[in-house]
Structure 1
Amino acid sequence: MQVTSQTGDQHEVSLDTGKSTNYTMPFILITSLFFLWGMAHNLDSILIPHLKKACELNNRQSTLIDTSVFFAYFIMAIPAGMLIKRFGYKNSIITGLLVFAAGAFLFVPAANSKTYELFLFSLFIIGCGLTILETSANPYAAILGTPELSTKRLNLAASFNGLATMVAPIVGSLFILSGTNHTPEQLAAMPEAEKTAYLMGEAASVKVPYIVLGSVLVLVAILFYFMHLPSMKPKHTEAEIKPGFFSVLKFRHLSWAVVAQFFYVGAQVCITSFFIRIAQQGAGLDEKTAAYYLGVYGFLFMAGRFIGTFFLKYVKDYVLLSIYCIASILLCLVAIYGTGIVVIYALGGIGFFMSIMFPTIFSLGINGLKSNTETGSSWLVMSIVGGAILPYGMGTLIDMKHDDIQSGYIIPLVCFVIILSFGMYGHRRIVNG
Structure 2
Amino acid sequence: MSTQPDQTTNYAALVAEFARAGRAAQRVLARMDDAAKAAALCSAAAALRRHSGSIVEANARDVAAGTARGLSPAMLDRLRLDEERLEGIAAAVEAVAALSDPVGEHISHTTAPSGLDLVRVRIPIGLIGIIYESRPNVTADAAALCVRAGNAALLRGGSEAVNSNRAIHAALAEGLAEAGVPAEAVQLMPTQDRAAVGAMLRAAGLVDMIVPRGGKGLVERVQNDARVPVLAHLDGICHTYIHSAADRAMASEIALNAKMRRTGICGAMESLLLDADFATGGDVVGALLDAGCELRGDARAQALDERIRPASANDWDCEYLDAILSVAVVDGLDAALDHIARHSSGHTDAIVTGDEAVAERFLAEVDSAIVMVNASTQFADGGEFGLGAEIGIATGRLHARGPVALEGLTTYKWQVRGTGQTRP
Using the size of structure 1 for normalisation, the TM-score is 0.22
Using the size of structure 2 for normalisation, the TM-score is 0.22
The structure carrying a bigger helix percent of its residues is: 1
Which structure has more relative contact order (CA 8 Å, sep 6+)? It is 1
The structure carrying a bigger strand percent of its residues is: 2
